[in-house]
Amino acid sequence: MTGVLTVPDRQKIASLRDAFMRNNMSLQSHQTDYVFEVTDTIQGIQRFHRLYCAGDDKNPYLFGRNLDKFCQEITSSGILPIGAR
């Protein structure tokens, strides 16, 4: 499900990407591509959080410290609904 992103949503997504990528030079190119794919929409970010941060699914692209950091950045980004934080 894709929709039109509002300016505030675009800013939140850009801020999330920047915060995660800025100090994370350990990502491989396929992981970077995956992060951009996941963060293409608010719904994609919320789904990722539900499955891999709040849930117990295994992610083949992000794991360990990278997954922990991405989950922390998502949680602090303001993108999640209040009850999901």
Residue with tokens 């992060």: 35
Q: What is the pTM of this model?
A: 0.87
pLDDT at 5: 77
* Full pLDDT tens readout for the chain, 85 residues: 456 778 899 999 999 999 999 878 789 999 999 999 999 999 999 999 999 999 999 999 999 999 999 999 999 999 998 766 5
Query: What residues make up the domain containing 11?
Result: 7-80
* 41-52 confidence digits (pLDDT tens): 999 999 999 999
Closest CA to 57 of 69, 47, 72, 66: 47
Residue 2 lies in a domain: no
Q: How many domains does the chain have?
A: 1
- Does 34 map to a domain? yes
